[in-house]
Amino acid sequence: MNTAFSTLIRTASHEQHMEAETSTFMSDLLGGRLGVEAYARYTEQLWFVYEALEADAERLASDPVTGPFIRTELLRRGALERDLTHLRGADWRATLTALPATEAYAARVAECAREWPGGYVAHHYTRYLGDLSGGQIIRGKAEQTWGFARKGDGVRFYVFEDIGNPAAFKRGYRELLDGVRADELERQRIVAECRRAFALNTAVFHALGEEFPLTA
Ligand code: HEM
């Protein structure tokens, strides 16, 4: 029997998921061992990634492959901008910089958005389904560690106000994945791009880990 594509992509990225989850930077962040500056720097990096994911939403919405995935309730850029205003001040754009690893990640997302709908789906899945899942754990920790208001400024990125039932939404999302318009070979390519998306995330964590080492 054919494995559902949503199961395939999940299983295929399982190892990379563990790697990202247990990276030094993530562990330190979730362990409450880093200052709010590290969290702000991470949030800045996310802005570049979501800028690349969402800049072309209108065109991607009319593409037969990416179209079903483009949902306004997922869009994160506005929430990130509110968080950055809270974390950095009204002129957050003036000091915003991407780490080289973030530049590489955002460039790959933008390239897929321009040229390869299937690859874009891989990046979409890796970010948004992750934000709806583990993102909720990060939010709780951030509120607890740095005292942000529950679901308020600073953690709005993790709050999907228009998704009342995340579990149901994720089920619907997996159905979209299962019905993605792609033949077997293209599905394999999408899975490979998903692994690449995880690796790009891990590279950003490594770079952040170097910028925010724990002093013993
Ligand atoms: C410390 C950080 C993280 C934690 C604690 C975490 C935790 C989780 C948990 C508990 C789930 C399962 C949710 C479910 O079964 O419905 C999940 C799913 C997922 N996570 Fe993470 N995660 C983390 C980091 C990441 C990162 C960095 C990415 C990629 C950028 C990511 C991408 C995903 C994806 C795509 C899924 C959905 C898997 C699927 O059901 O197909 N996660 N995460």
Q: How far apart are CA 1 and CA 216, in angstroms?
A: 53
**Res 141 pLDDT > 60:** yes
Residues whose CB is less than 8 angstroms from the CB of residue 119 and which lie 6 or more positions away in sequence, other chains included: 111, 112, 189, 190, 193
Residue 109 counted as domain residue: yes
pLDDT tens figures, 104-117: 999 999 999 999 99
Residue 123 counted as domain residue: yes
Q: Which helix (H) or strand (E) is 168 found in, with range?
A: helix 166-178
Q: Please give the model's pTM, rounded to 2 decimal places.
A: 0.96
pLDDT tens figures, 182-214: 999 999 999 999 999 999 999 999 999 999 998
What value, to the nearest 5°, has the Cα angle with vertex 15 and ends 105 and 3?
A: 100
Which residues have any ligand 1 atom within 6 Å of their CB?
10, 17, 20-21, 26, 30, 125-127, 129-130, 133-134, 137, 170, 198, 201
**Res 1 pLDDT > 70:** no
- Shortest-distance Cα residue to atom 13 of ligand 1: 133
Q: What is the structure's pLDDT at 76?
A: 98
Residue 39 is part of which domain span?
Answer: 5-211
Question: Which atom of ligand 1 is nearest the CA belonging to 20?
Answer: 27
Question: Which atom of ligand 1 is nearest the CA belonging to 194?
Answer: 35
Q: How far apart are CA 62 and CA 68, in angstroms?
A: 9
CA of 61 to the centre of ligand 1 (A): 25
Q: How far apart are CA 35 and CA 26, in angstroms?
A: 13
pLDDT tens figures, 34-53: 999 999 999 999 999 999 99
Mean of the pLDDT values across residues 139-164? 97
pLDDT tens figures, 61-110: 999 999 999 999 999 999 999 999 999 999 999 999 999 999 999 999 99
CA of 9 to the centre of ligand 1 (A): 12
Which backbone phi and psi does 110 adopt, to 5 degrees? -65, -40
CA of 17 to the centre of ligand 1 (A): 7
CA of 147 to the centre of ligand 1 (A): 24
- What CATH code is carried by the domain that includes residue 13? 1.20.910.10
Residue 216 counted as domain residue: no
Residue 36 counted as domain residue: yes
Q: How far apart are CA 126 and CA 6, in angstroms?
A: 12
**Res 216 pLDDT > 90:** no
Per the structure, the count of domains in the chain is 1
For the chain, give the percent of residues with pLDDT over 90. Answer: 97
Q: What is the structure's pLDDT at 215?
A: 63
Q: pLDDT-derived band of residue 10, with 50, 70 and 90 as boundaries? A: very high
Residue 182 counted as domain residue: yes
- Shortest-distance Cα residue to atom 5 of ligand 1: 134
